[in-house]
A = this chain, B = another copy of it.
Amino acid sequence: MSKQQLVVLGQSAGECCPGLLTAPLDEDQADTLAKVFKALGDPVRLRLLSMIASRAGGEVCVCDLTPAFELSQPTISHHLKLLKQAGLIDSERRGTWVYYRLLPEMTDRLAAILTRPAGAAS
């Protein structure tokens, strides 16, 4: 995710209580946020993200992700690249393999964006 995207999402998240449910998003905020949700809008990417996020130790080798899918290594790598571009995961190459980890700042931000302001709960 670009620095610009982080800035825009940061603005929409405000100090604590963000924008989606509390005020109309402007076009820039909507463009940025839509890219992240689009990255989540695919079942393979959601399964990859859940495998990475739930792994004890916080890191998963791509070699442990691929066998869970009936998809080619390049296809899996493409999905991982989209999750990384959305700011949801990061990666590090060590030796032969690439290791992936969750960037919880982004999922925290999305959770905040989707949380109703205090007092609005039914």
Q: Which residues of A pack against B, CB within 8 Å?
A: 19-25, 27, 30-31, 33-35, 37-47, 49-51, 53-54, 68, 102, 104, 107-108, 110-112, 114-116, 120-122
User: Hey, which chain B residues are within 8 Å of A53, CB to CB?
Assistant: 20-22
Chain A facing B: main interface SS = helix
Please judge, given known A-B contacts A30-B47, A38-B42, whether A22 and B107 are in contact too, CB under 8 Å. no
B107 touches A114 (CB 8 A): yes
Chain B residue nearest to A106 (CB atoms) is B114
B54 touches A21 (CB 8 A): yes
CB<8 Å pairs between A and B, sample of 8? A20-B50, A20-B53, A24-B50, A24-B51, A31-B43, A34-B45, A108-B116, A111-B115
A34 touches B42 (CB 8 A): yes
Chain B residue nearest to A46 (CB atoms) is B30
Q: What is the CB-to-nearest-CB distance from A15 to chain B, in angstroms, rounded to a whole number?
A: 17
B25, B45, B104: which contacts A116 (Cβ < 8 A)?
B104
User: Hey, which chain B residues are within 8 Å of A120, CB to CB?
Assistant: 104
Chain B residue nearest to A113 (CB atoms) is B111
